Structure 1
Amino acid sequence: MARSHADEDPSKSRPRRRGVLGGAAALGGLLLASGPARAQPVKVRLGTATPGGGFPVYGAAFVEGVRRFDPALEIEAINTKGSTENVPLLEAGTLDIALVQGEVVHAALQGVGRAPADLRVLTAMYPTAGMFVVRADSPYRTVADLKGKPIAWGASGSGLVILGRYAMDGLGLDAAKDFQPIYLERAGDGPAMVLDGRAAALWGGGNGWPGFMTMAKSQAGARFIAPDADEIRRILARHPFLRPVTQAAGSFPGQAAAIPSVGSWSFVLARPGLDETVAYRTVKALHALQQAGNPPPQLVDTTAANTVAVVPGREKLHPGAARFYREIGLLT
């Protein structure tokens, strides 16, 4: 089972990185001396999501990680409404690359409720285990306990909202009808609503996810509610494109035990026609970051090996990314 991300993601047992190691910088210099980074600067527009959520945090780490090893690749992170807006913005060419939650990737590439999107995978990001967080003193302990209660599902354009709908549907529940749904203008508004009682719970996911971190670090404390073993089985039986994902113990302050749940991998998608060299340079820089050791926590799962393992069909890889993965022996 893939480990859950230092999210939307991150805090494993490995040490946190505050900057690139001296060795990493040296490796970057070697790469730049002979690689494509010597080309003219290229500007790339990266779509993330609303402030306060995990995507902007990941996007900042992504931009910095690529910049360290290919500074001529100038990536600008742009706040959007999230995954559901990022897909049409990519299709329109308004964005060059964008962060997209796994459920939205599935719907876009498979043509669920729409024509299949002509988008390609640049890299896998991380797996997300969907779950609720409540105050530590909350009386609610199961998904069933939350039925009929006000739930902050997240920002309306977020892929986490889609994951919540699929998870609840797998249990025979309607996220919009069997709960009192709250959709946020900003992802960062959710924790305050739970802490002051306007919402019974906040739905989210991912190791280090900002909403969960805020709750866990609050004076009230936090407790997590995820589907139990039978509920996980029922969800996966109804929606087999989802995966069992476990939130590692210690991902959040006070979270002593691992939490099994359901979720999916998020991906960085590329617009139609994105130059092959740009894609190649991006994944090469990310791989150099991993090889240097001790990557930032948001990027620990953003590896070439994970991408090849979980991409929804090898034909969905961007040709530039596939070329680099062949060069390092992950593809034939």
Structure 2
Amino acid sequence: MTSAETTRRRVLGAGLGALAAVSAGCSGNSGPVRRLRLATGPEGGPYNAFGQALAQAVAASGHRIEIVPVSTAASVDNLRRLADGSVELALAMGDVAGDAVLGREPFPRPTAATALARVYVNYTHLLVPADGPVRSVGDLAGRPVAVGAPGSGVQVVAERLLRAAGLSGAPVSASAPTPAPAPAPTPVPVPTADERQLGLAASVDALREGSVAALFWSGGVPTPALADLARELPLRFLPLDAQAGVLRERYGPVYSPVTLPAGVYGLTEPVGTIGVGNYLLARADVPQGVVRDLLQVVFDRWRDLLREVTAGARLEPRFAISTGEVPLHPGAVTYYRSVYG
């Protein structure tokens, strides 16, 4: 368990003693409506669907909150908007959110983002035509690959997977180094994957047309666009369980082994892959009472929120608080204390 997780458990286990101290921050059912802009993702994508469903659920809740979904390029773009104050809420993949909080590439400095909940898990999909030559990640060398739209979380995980597979373009030695004083062997360039930055719809079209050899996607299961493609084109989903441990070692427990189940996308047997949590995030200056009211809606209506995003998912507090390096918003801490009792 990381130090962040230990601290989070300690805070949540402290009981309800601090609840009264912050109760003055409750939004209540009087006063002006608090308007919150939520950075989601491209129109037609899962983040956008979640954002639209959340806006409808909040509107029907009676709380004086209005959620305004904002279409974006997704995770990286969303964290940048959260940092510059153009939105108050955002959805992002856990690896990207952790990078933002720690100030790791592509973020030049730490971002003061806070987490409200881990709402569901993205499954990494790497699919190729079933009758094509690609049967492993290594076979992507020198081939065009759709790696997600610029500013998206799928692009981050795709690039990390390719880097872990040695397809990032860094030179490697052709053989083991010879003992001194003999000169070291000349490095041999590794053929790289030809990364094409395409959104999901464009990636599906490119794979269908044969202009890319493979498609990366990170999303719920099943993702409707991929399920539709699987009904018209025989596909192979490449296993990524071997890479899950590598990413976990390099980047932390935000990456976990998961399985695409048999039956989905027409799979005849399960396929091991990599899971990444999706976080609902907020600026730290969003009032605590507003956060508590919002989380009440999220947990009351999670079935509606996840229906169009991922099948079979269930949102529970013990799952939701696992946000890694991203600290929970104080209003979220208070909400979860009330749930734990």
TM-score, with structure 2 as normaliser: 0.76
> Which one is further off, 109-118 or 90-99?
109-118
Within 5 Å, which residues of 2 pair with 1:57-72? 57-70=49-62, 72=64
> Residue 5 of structure 1 aligns with which residue?
none
After superposition, the Cα gap between the structure-2 partners of 1:214 and 1:295, relative to the gap in structure 1 and judged at 3 Å, is closer
- Code of the residue aligned with 1:174 in structure 2: it is S
Contact 2:114 2:283 in 1 (8 A): yes
> Residue 316 of structure 1 aligns with which residue?
327
How far apart, in 1, do the equivalents of 2:169 and 2:258 lie?
22
Contact 2:143 2:193 in 1 (8 A): yes
Structure 2 residue matching 1:190: 3-state secondary structure: helix
Q: Which runs of 5+ in 2 are unaligned?
A: 1-26, 171-190
After superposition, the Cα gap between the structure-2 partners of 1:86 and 1:245, relative to the gap in structure 1 and judged at 3 Å, is same
Structure 1 residue matching 2:217: 3-state secondary structure: strand
- Code of the residue aligned with 2:217 in structure 1: it is G
Identify which of 210, 213, 216 aligns with 2:227: 213
Structure 1 residue matching 2:147: 3-state secondary structure: strand
Identify which of 150, 159, 170 aligns with 2:153: 159
Within 5 Å, which residues of 2 pair with 1:1-332? 36-37=28-29, 39-70=31-62, 72-113=64-105, 114-174=108-168, 178-184=192-198, 186-206=199-219, 207-217=221-231, 219-229=232-242, 231-250=243-262, 252-290=264-302, 296=307, 298=309, 300-308=313-321, 310-313=322-325, 316-329=327-340
Contact 2:50 2:306 in 1 (8 A): no
After superposition, the Cα gap between the structure-2 partners of 1:69 and 1:127, relative to the gap in structure 1 and judged at 3 Å, is same
- Code of the residue aligned with 2:201 in structure 1: it is G
Offset at 1:301? 4.1
- Code of the residue aligned with 1:259 in structure 2: it is V
> Residue 24 of structure 2 aligns with which residue?
none
Structure 1 residue matching 2:73: 3-state secondary structure: coil
Structure 1 residue matching 2:340: 3-state secondary structure: coil
Structure 1 residue matching 2:266: 3-state secondary structure: coil
Deviations 1:284-326 (A, max 9, x none): 1111224x89962537344422112x1225x810111111111
Offset at 1:167? 1.9
Deviations 1:239-276 (A, max 9, x none): 33442231341573302333222232121111231121
- Code of the residue aligned with 1:305 in structure 2: it is R
Contact 1:171 1:235 in 2 (8 A): no
After superposition, the Cα gap between the structure-2 partners of 1:168 and 1:241, relative to the gap in structure 1 and judged at 3 Å, is farther
Structure 2 residue matching 1:120: 3-state secondary structure: strand
Structure 2 residue matching 1:316: 3-state secondary structure: coil
How far apart, in 2, do the equivalents of 1:41 and 1:141 lie?
54
Contact 2:317 2:339 in 1 (8 A): no
How far apart, in 1, do the equivalents of 2:226 and 2:169 lie?
20
Deviations 1:42-76 (A, max 9, x none): 22111111234332122223333333434642211
How far apart, in 2, do the equivalents of 1:153 and 1:138 lie?
18
Q: Which runs of 5+ in 1 are unaligned?
A: 1-34
Structure number with larger C-alpha Rg: 2
- Code of the residue aligned with 1:67 in structure 2: it is A
- Give aligned pairs, total: 291
How far apart, in 2, do the equivalents of 1:77 and 1:293 lie?
16
Contact 1:52 1:210 in 2 (8 A): no
After superposition, the Cα gap between the structure-2 partners of 1:107 and 1:119, relative to the gap in structure 1 and judged at 3 Å, is same
TM-score, with structure 1 as normaliser: 0.78
How far apart, in 2, do the equivalents of 1:325 and 1:187 lie?
35
> Residue 28 of structure 1 aligns with which residue?
none
After superposition, the Cα gap between the structure-2 partners of 1:71 and 1:259, relative to the gap in structure 1 and judged at 3 Å, is farther
